[in-house]
Amino acid sequence: MILVTGASRGIGLGIASRFTSLGFDVVGLARTSVAAPFPTFEVDVTDDEQVRQVALDLRRAKTFPTVVINAAGIASMNLALMTPASKARAVVGTNLLGTMFVCQAFAPLIARAGGGSIINFSTIAVALGLSGESVYAASKAGVETYTRVLARELAGMNIRANCIAPGPIDTELLRGVSDSQIDAIVKQQILPTRFTVEDICDVAEALVDKRLSSISGEVFHIGGV
């Protein structure tokens, strides 16, 4: 079974739908469920009790994921000195703490399944140090470091952990970002192309594949940096 957070929209919905179409059993986690071709639990990943309850329910049902994909995330475009505290807390809470809570709750279930893979989401903003994305990039830098340490700690349980770090992808996260701003970021990629949710799905699919079983603790930059 593949568990995907942020499964009601954007990259999470795209990935969950992709794996469903490939014949995998997929379970989604989302703050609000939407009509989707896979079952969804209504969970706020910033609430560790809610996250742990879902993990407990799955364990009781002896339904153990072999793949966990943390796609839940929120963005904030603010200059560092002008970021409201509430926004900073929300971004770090969802992007970093939410990822931590999900990994902590579900890694033991992956271990019970005999091993598998965790995919977390970073951003190209970390590598590029993009102006206006200080809190967002900092939260994702935390995800990258957390993932590297996690990969080391879980290796003995046959669990791999990696990050995908997309550039600008056409989802709700880009709402309010102008085309010229997006183009300026895309130009800094090695492959100066606007990639899509489908391209992210391709990388996620590859990372789940057993042929990449030698890869853990890495960050995959979409478009290259």
Binding positions for other proteins, rule: CB under 8 A: 52, 56, 59-60, 104-105, 108, 111-112, 153, 156-157
Q: With respect to other proteins, which residue has the nearer C-beta, 111 or 182?
A: 111
Nearest Cα to Cα of residue 44 among 35, 34, 33: 33
Distance of CA 6 to the CA centre of its chain: 8
Residue 12 contacts residue 6 (beta carbons within 8 Å): yes
Find tokens 């990822």 and name the residue: 99
Residue 135 contacts residue 76 (beta carbons within 8 Å): yes
Minimum distance of other proteins from residue 121's CB (angstroms): 23
Minimum distance of other proteins from residue 43's CB (angstroms): 17
Q: With respect to other proteins, which residue has the nearer C-beta, 7 or 55?
A: 55
Residue 51 contacts residue 85 (beta carbons within 8 Å): no
Q: With respect to other proteins, which residue has the nearer C-beta, 153 or 172?
A: 153
Q: With respect to other proteins, which residue has the nearer C-beta, 102 or 135?
A: 102
Find tokens 């153990």 and name the residue: 64
Minimum distance of other proteins from residue 8's CB (angstroms): 26
Minimum distance of other proteins from residue 156's CB (angstroms): 4
